[in-house]
Structure 1
Amino acid sequence: MTRETLLRAATQVILDKGVEALTLDAVAHQAGVSKGGLLYHFPNKDVLIVGMVEQLIQDFETALQEEFDRDDAPGTPGQWLRAYIQATLRISKQSLALIARLSSIGVDKPELLECAEAYEQRWRQRLKTDGLNPRTATIIQLAIDGLWFSEVFKLGSPDEPLRTQVVQSLLAMTRKPE
């Protein structure tokens, strides 16, 4: 039994039944393992949730690197930010649903999301060294994060084609260093 299998099982429990149904017993049952097998990898529910958050971040980091490597203007200002925009757009509907549900846990237990803060700091540092005016880069990042937030929580997300136009405008802004 791998950690990944257990994390997928935990994700499925949350997506199918909600955060309140996330118990070690439910995850073990979903994964088809004994509770002891689960406890070997995740000694308690908080460690399991941190593992889920870390997996989401790692998936985003992988997408971010893929988009960075695929950029059509490598080595130019804004390359990292273009990758950030594209990676943000690649987040699956399932991941968006999981993030929305996990955020309710983070409100009560902010220590569970400390791992996310380390990545956020690293991303802010990359933003500062991407070759764009820091003010413009911050505006772009906040805009794509806002679009992502609206889609996670289904609050005021623009419909097509406006969403596509917004994204295209943000990408164009990464190509105009001030």
Structure 2
Amino acid sequence: MGASKKTKARSATREKLLQAAAQVIIDRGVEALTLDAVAQQADVSKGGLLYHFLNKNALIVNVGQQQLQNFEAALQQEFEQDDAPGTPGQWTRAYVRSAERTSKESLALIARLSSILVEMPSELLQSVEAYEQRWHQRLESDGLDPVQATIIQLAIDGLWFSEAFQMAVPREERRTQIVETLLAMTRSPQ
């Protein structure tokens, strides 16, 4: 097998393991995440798993970082597809739309991971903090009033968290109205 094929196979196995770890967390909780459970879910040997991830913490860190990267990619895609490119609020609209379109699986995974927030590996917490700082800086320099941009961010984050934790989730009609209102706020003159 050529070097390129080996690299692709390793990458595919790594992705399969991350998906398996995420599924174990979603289905059974973080406490059920073991190397054996992930290897079995992925149909990969434990040695194959250990080749990619040295321990449970490495799995958790990588699953969390993958979620952050997926959200970042969704943000970039929404930014590029904005209906009013180059206008104030473009990045904030992308943030609202990305958060609003987060999959139910991702919400469930985040909710499950938050159960170990206090014990979460510092590497993952640092990654979350770095992404959050970058996103907040972009919101504040998006051409909107920084207070207004922060209010929009906090509102969509609140909606996101209510759905992740299934607490005070608004009816679909109200949810749509909330998102539309937040998007309208990104277009308001200052």
Q: When the two structures are superposed, what TM-score results if normalisation uses the length of structure 2?
A: 0.90
Partners of 2:172 and 2:27 in 1: how far apart? Answer: 28
Deviation at 1:89, TM superposition (A): 1.2
Q: Give the corresponding residue for 2:174.
A: 162
- Equivalence map 1:73-92=2 (5 Å): 73-92=84-103
- Equivalence map 1:62-81=2 (5 Å): 62-81=73-92
Q: Give the corresponding residue for 2:161.
A: 149
Partners of 1:169 and 1:130 in 2: how far apart? Answer: 18
CA deviation profile, 1:5-27 (whole Å, cap 9, x unmatched): 11001011112222211001110
1:117 maps to which of 116, 121, 129: 129
Structure 2: any 5+ residue segments left out of the alignment?
Answer: 1-9
- Equivalence map 1:95-110=2 (5 Å): 95-109=106-120
Amino acid at match of 2:164: V
> RMSD in angstroms over aligned alpha carbons?
1.1
Partners of 1:24 and 1:82 in 2: how far apart? Answer: 40
Deviation at 1:110, TM superposition (A): 5.5
CA deviation profile, 1:37-92 (whole Å, cap 9, x unmatched): 11111101111100000110111011101100110000000000000000001110
Partners of 1:7 and 1:98 in 2: how far apart? Answer: 12
Q: Give the corresponding residue for 1:126.
A: 138
Deviation at 1:173, TM superposition (A): 0.3
Q: Secondary structure at the match of 1:161?
A: helix
Structure 1: any 5+ residue segments left out of the alignment?
Answer: none
1:138 maps to which of 150, 158, 179: 150
Deviation at 1:105, TM superposition (A): 1.5
1:6 maps to which of 17, 34, 45: 17
Q: Give the corresponding residue for 2:53.
A: 42
CA contact (8 A) 1:13 1:21 kept: yes
User: Percent of aligned pairs with the same residue?
Assistant: 69
Misfit runs of 4+, over 6 Å: none
